[in-house]
Amino acid sequence: MLVIILEKVPASVRGELTRWMLEVKTGVFVGNLSALVQDTLWKMIKTKVKDGGAILICKAASEQGFSIEMFGDTSREVVNFDGLQLIRVRSASDEHKLS
């Protein structure tokens, strides 16, 4: 299973994803796609995301059983802790450091 979450992206990106996946909530897409289609969609998202952000969660051979990839301006970040992927919410001070 594949989950893609989009934040502040152009409507055309969401429209493209609805051809392949179900939009269960605004900006949240789920589907069961081949690796080729998944990679193609992720590359398309990364080229069209503009000022927004995207999160990809897919099945992986890891302790957790899934992998998380983020691109663009998301409100969270992935932190690797001894091989586990954890999520850290960015604070306002972190946002100023990135600017």
Identify the structural domains of the chain with CATH numbers, from first to last. Answer: 2-98 (3.30.70.240)
Which residue type occupies 32? N
Q: What is the overall mean pLDDT for the chain?
A: 90
| pLDDT tens-place string over residues 45-87 | 999 998 999 999 999 888 888 999 999 988 888 999 988 999 9
Greater confidence, 61 or 97? 61
Q: Give me the DSSP letters along 17-82.
A: HTTTSEEEETTEEEE---HHHHHHHHHHHHHH-TTSEEEEEEE-SSSSSEEEEEEES-SEEEEEET
Predicted local distance difference test score (pLDDT) of residue 76: 86
Regarding beta strands 66-72 and 84-89, do their DSSP bridges make them parallel or antiparallel, or are they unpaired? Answer: unpaired
